[in-house]
Amino acid sequence: MKKNIATIIPCYNSQSTILQAVESVLNQSTPVNEIIILDDHSTDQTVPILKKLQKNHPHIQIITHDQNQGPGRLRNLGIQLAKSKYVAFLDADDYWHPDKIKIFSVDADVAFWASRYSTDPSKNQIINSTKKISFAKQLLRNHVATPTAIINKEIIHEQFDETMRYCEDYEYFTRLTYHFGLYINQSILCTTNKQKGLSSHLFKMRLGEIRMYFKATKYCKLIIFLLPFLILYSLIKHIFRTTIAF
C-alpha cells in the first residue's frame, strides 16, 4: 500500500517535551506512515528517550547530527527523506489533537493546508470549516503555525531557505501561499508550549520579515512597489509589540 503521510519533527535539547510531541502523532485516530525526527546535536537526554521509544515503533526514524544545522535545514532534510505523498510538520515542544490527520483527510485534495492552534490545552475546538487565505493577508501576517502545516510533496517542491535563521517558516509559507494557495481549517488541532521571545529576538524576527519582503519580489513583481510600505508596516508592528506587549 502506498505511504500517505510523513511527520517531520526537528528537535534540540527537548527532553522535557519530545515524548509528548511524538506520542501525539502515534495516538492519531488516522495513523501516519512515517515519523522522521531530526535531532540538532542535542546535549541532553533527547536522543536516548527517542531511541527507547523507537524500539516499539519501527516506523520512527531518528537522524542525528554532530553539529547544529538549524530548523530550516532539518526540515528540508526531512522532506527529502519522506517517502509519503504528504508531509506534516511538528515541533518538539508542541503536540497535536488526536483527530488532526483525520480532519485533514477531508481536505486532502489541496496542496497546502494548516489549522488553528492554541497555547491553552483546554481549547480543542473542532469546526468543520476550511477557509482560503489570500496571499495579501498572508504577506501582512503569518497565518500558519509550523506544527499545523501539511503539504502535498508530489505538488510542492519548494524548500525552506536555509540561510534564514529568523522567519524562515514565515517566508516559506508565504511563498507557498503565492504559488499554491493556503487553506486553513478553523479547528484548533495543535497546542504549543512556546513562550514569548526576548525583545532582542523580536527585532531579529522583524529583520527576517523584512528580508522575506525582499525575497518575495523575485516571484511577485508588484511587491517591488509596495516595499517601502511593507517595511514601514513591519517596523510599526515591532514598535507596537515592544512598547505595548512588554
Nearest to 85 by CA among 62, 63, 111: 111
- To which CATH superfamily is domain 5-192 assigned? Spore Coat Polysaccharide Biosynthesis Protein SpsA; Chain A (3.90.550.10)
C-alpha cell at 21: 510531541
Q: Is the pLDDT of residue 237 over 90?
A: no
**Residue ranges of domains in the chain:** 5-192, 199-244
User: For 13-22, 38-47, 113-122, 132-141, which range has the lowest pLDDT when averaged over its residues?
Assistant: 113-122
* Helix/strand/coil for 229: helix
Q: What is the DSSP letter of 17?
A: T
Give the pLDDT score at 220.
Answer: 97
| Residue 124 burial class via C-beta count within 10 angstroms: exposed 0-12, middle 13-18, buried 19 and up | middle
Given this model, what pLDDT does residue 21 score?
97
pLDDT one-digit tens code per residue, 26-36: 999 999 999 99
C-alpha cell at position 140:
501582512
Q: What is the pTM of this model?
A: 0.92
3-state secondary structure 109-143: CCCEEEEEEECCCCCCCCCCCEEEECHHHHHHCCC
Q: What does pLDDT average to over the chain?
A: 92
pLDDT tens digits, residue range 180-221?
Answer: 999 999 999 999 886 554 445 788 899 999 999 999 999 999
Relative to beta strand 86-89, strand 150-152 is: antiparallel
Look at strands 60-63 and 34-39 and give their pairing.
parallel
- Letter for the amino acid at 44? D
